[in-house]
Amino acid sequence: MLRLEPRHTALVMIDLQNWIVGRPVAPHSGGDVVERSLRIGKALRKAGGTVILVRVAFSDGYGDVVKVPVDAPMILPEDKMPAEAVAFDARINPSKADVVITKRQWSAFYGTELDLQLRRRGVDTVIISGIATNFGVEATVRDAFASNYAAIVAEDATSSMTAEMHRFSIDHVLPRVARIRSSGVIIDALKEAMRD
């Protein structure tokens, strides 16, 4: 059974932007990930918790992009990311979030003020959703674990480039640093917390 203290819990939604949600992902569609993330956010907000949006963005000319040699480099449009591409999915209203974090690498913790914002709000538990499971989600969960936050991954509110990539992270990596639950189980735990 999952027990949550909503006032000490934050939902951290990873990279639910047009250029990421619109890609083919599996096993859950980008639209399903957004909808389930928003349901968790609504339930958490009603219970008194914190909702945080995380986006990845780069300056014009990509001066802030990591530039080390890798075998599979990220492909970016010439000179800059179009504003529509980096905008949050149309179903997401950034003004309703408690915090919006901009990151420039996979983890929402590295080089951002996420840890500061969580600690100042008394958060010790983070629910993580978003795309992609084995990139931004996994990197953020690993850093949450290293920073002594209890992490819960909303399995059906995450997805990756292939179902196999998603499953490997969910089955073999993330259970070592987090608890894996469905969005329904998380929402039920938040409702139960409100009854206590």
125 in Cβ contact with 8 (< 8 Å): yes
Provide the terminal-to-terminal Cα distance of the chain, rounded to the nearest Å: 15
pLDDT computed for residue 93 by the predictor = 96
Per-residue pLDDT band for 196 (boundaries 50, 70, 90) equals confident
**String of DSSP letters for 21-40:** HTS--BSS-HHHHHHHHHHH
Domain count, the chain: 1
Kindly tell me if the per-residue pLDDT of 53 is higher than 90. yes
Task: Look at residue 39 and tell me if it is in a domain.
Answer: yes
Band of pLDDT at residue 75, cut at 50, 70 and 90: confident
pLDDT at position 74, please?
Answer: 87
Would 115 be classed as within a structural domain?
yes
Residue-wise pLDDT for 86-129, tens only, equals 999 999 999 999 999 999 999 999 999 999 999 999 999 999 99
User: Which CATH number fits the domain that encloses residue 141?
Assistant: 3.40.50.850
How far apart CA 89 and CA 20 sit, in angstroms, is: 9
Structural domain range at position 137: 6-195
**Does a structural domain hold residue 1?**
no
Residue 179, number of CB atoms within 10 A of its CB: 15
| Residue 72 in domain | yes
Q: How many CB atoms lie within 10 A of CB 52?
A: 23
Average pLDDT over residues 2-15: 97
pLDDT in tens, 138-183: 999 999 999 999 999 999 999 999 999 999 999 999 999 999 999 9
